[in-house]
């Protein structure tokens, strides 16, 4: 089981690395939270996005993504839930920016948990991610190497493993570049508002996507 050639692994790891390096809503969310909340905010967003992405991996392995790809109603429902959620958290970030600058440690810890949950939902409520995994993962299924579902689950899991080597250094670098600017209360306020505008923009961009 799971017997693959060296060429297979080189091709897959290269594709997974390029996938993780390519710009997209998930990575943009992680970097935006890094700029706004620093290293801990970036990691909270990153772990949330990973968890949401893994839900899509499980869906692909179980064949549920095929239903989403085939059903216009399912795609539209998930899409508009995602749009509504992105716009809502964006507006919350804009109108609560000043309040978020002066919070207790307990509330700050709760904010990181909220960022994690937002990352999960942003990834999980993006039907394009589900359809992408459905199109991408089957290309690496090898006849006779094991159950198709298990092969999909294995390769989907390994995409997250590859992300472990790529995304954390980007968060660390991003947090170093923005540490200086976040020390200013006024800049911090505008960065928080900017995050809100960015999230609303992601929602509008998702609203314009088609199957």
Residue 2 lies in a domain: no
Q: Residue 180: what pLDDT?
A: 62
**3 in a domain, yes or no?**
no
Total domains in the fold of the chain: 1
The Cα 93–Cα 105 span in angstroms is 18
> Is residue 184 included in any domain, yes or no?
yes
The answer to whether position 144 is within a domain reads yes
What pLDDT does 100 receive? 54
In a domain, 105, yes or no: yes
pLDDT at 104: 46
Q: Which domain holds residue 47?
A: 36-207
> What is the SS3 string spanning the chain?
CCCCCHHHHHHHHHHHHHHHHCCCHHHHHHHHHHHHHHHHHHHHHHHHHHHHHHHHHHHHHHCHHHHHHHCHHHHHHHHHHHHHHHHHHHHHHHHCHHHHHCCCHHHHHHHHHHHHHHHHHHHHCCHHHHHHHHHHHHHHCCCCCCCHHHHHHHHHHHHHHHHHHHHHHHHHHHHHHHHHHHCCHHHHHHHHHHHHHHHHHHHHHHHCCCC
Q: Is residue 44 part of a domain?
A: yes
pLDDT at 47: 96
Is 12 contained in some domain? no
pTM: 0.78
Residue 97 belongs to some domain of the structure: yes
The pLDDT value recorded for residue 54 is 92
Q: pLDDT tens digits, the chain, 211 residues: what are they?
A: 778 888 899 999 998 888 888 767 788 888 888 887 888 899 999 999 999 999 999 988 888 777 766 777 777 887 888 788 778 877 877 776 555 545 544 555 668 888 999 999 988 888 878 877 888 888 888 888 888 888 899 999 999 999 999 999 989 988 887 766 656 556 666 666 776 777 787 778 777 766 5
What pLDDT digit, counting tens, does each position of 36-87 carry?
788 889 999 999 999 999 999 998 888 877 776 677 777 788 788 878 877 8
């Amino acid at each position: 089981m799971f017997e693959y050639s060296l060429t297979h692994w080189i091709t897959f790891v290269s594709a997974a690395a390029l996938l993780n390096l390519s710009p997209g809503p998930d990575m943009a969310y992680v970097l935006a939270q890094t700029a706004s909340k620093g290293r801990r905010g970036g990691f909270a967003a990153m772990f949330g996005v990973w968890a949401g992405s893994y839900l899509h991996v499980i869906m692909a392995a179980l064949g549920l993504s095929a239903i989403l790809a085939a059903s216009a109603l399912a795609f539209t429902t998930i899409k508009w839930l995602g749009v509504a959620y992105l716009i809502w958290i964006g507006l919350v970030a804009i109108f609560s920016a000043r309040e978020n600058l002066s919070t207790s440690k307990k509330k700050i810890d709760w904010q990181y948990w909220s960022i994690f949950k937002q990352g999960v939902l942003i990834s999980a409520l993006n039907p394009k991610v589900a359809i992408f995994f459905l199109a991408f993962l089957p290309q690496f299924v090898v006849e006779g190497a094991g159950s198709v579902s298990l092969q999909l689950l294995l390769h989907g899991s390994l995409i997250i493993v590859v992300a472990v080597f790529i995304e954390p250094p980007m968060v660390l670098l991003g947090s170093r570049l923005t540490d200086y600017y976040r020390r200013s209360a006024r800049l911090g306020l505008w960065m928080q508002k900017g995050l809100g505008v960015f999230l609303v923009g992601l929602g509008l961009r998702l609203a314009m996507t088609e199957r």
